Amino acid sequence: MLDILYEDNHCLAVNKPAGLLAQGDATGERSLVDEARDYLKSRYQKPGNVFVGLVHRLDRPTSGVVLLARTSKGADRLSAQFREGSVEKVYWAVVEGTVASEAGEWHDTLLKDERRNVVSVVPEGTPKGRPAVLAYQVLGRAPGRTWVEVRPVTGRSHQIRVQLAARGFPIVGDRKYGAKSSLTASDGGGRIALHARSITFRHPTRPESISIAAEVPANWPATRFATREAPSGSSTRAEHPGR
């Protein structure tokens, strides 16, 4: 059953579980779009096809907020916001290693190997390389692990995973990018400790800004972190992210 976070005539936001494809591929496996379409058909007793527009994506092993459009007008306007970079996306990640600086911004050039579906950090000026900017803040620390909040300024494929791994901080469970640890998603497949915590966007038909947050799932790493200040602003110690 879908975890619905927000719904109106033009928008549908859900908390995607890790392991679920955002959109169907050659495997023919069910996807988030399939689940959303079935939900809307059942809820509103709609016969025939139901429009569901996927305006952005999360990698299969990542959980968190995904915004969908219920109308073509909504899809066009929301997609434009993602292209222009006006949508604010916040992620939580648990990484291997200790991130020394409390906050900062990383600038890299990324190159995607389409055949292998792997992204690498390459020297600036590399043909087909694309600039990537990622802002981060440390939220908590535990032995051998760091809990970070990251805000991608650009929207590149695998950007967060690659920029963290390139500095020696692979996301827990992300064996593809060098993690030593493994994690299991609720469906029994692999997941990584990356969660799309929140998204803020302009409503496609109304003059208002909407912010939507998603709690971390039960299969999030059960690590307790010593924190100087919780994300809510209250002082705390030994916080579990999102709990």
Query: For 192-224, how does the pLDDT look when each residue is reduced to its tens digit (9 = 90+)?
Result: 999 999 999 999 999 999 999 999 988 888 677
Question: Where does the chain show beta strands of DSSP type E?
Answer: 4-7, 11-16, 53-54, 63-69, 88-96, 103-113, 118-122, 130-142, 145-152, 194-202, 209-213
What is the helix (H) or strand (E) element at residue 33, kind and residue range? helix 32-44
* C-beta neighbour count of 243 within 10 angstroms: 10
- In terms of Cα–Cα distance, which of 214, 211, 203 is closest to 10? 203
> Is the pLDDT at 239 greater than 80, yes or no?
no
Q: What is the pLDDT of residues 50-95, one digit of tens each?
A: 999 999 999 999 999 999 999 999 999 999 999 999 999 999 999 9
Mean pLDDT value across the chain: 90
Kindly state the tokens that stand for 3. 């975890």
pTM: 0.90
CB neighbour list of residue 86: distance below 8 Å, 6 or more residues apart: 201, 202
**The predicted structure's pLDDT at residue 216:** 92
Q: Give the catalytic positions in this structure.
A: 59
For each of the domains in the chain, give its residue range(s) and CATH number, in order of start.
Answer: 4-213 (3.30.2350.10)
Distance CA 86, CA 79 (A): 10
The mean pLDDT of 154-177, rounded to a whole number, is 96
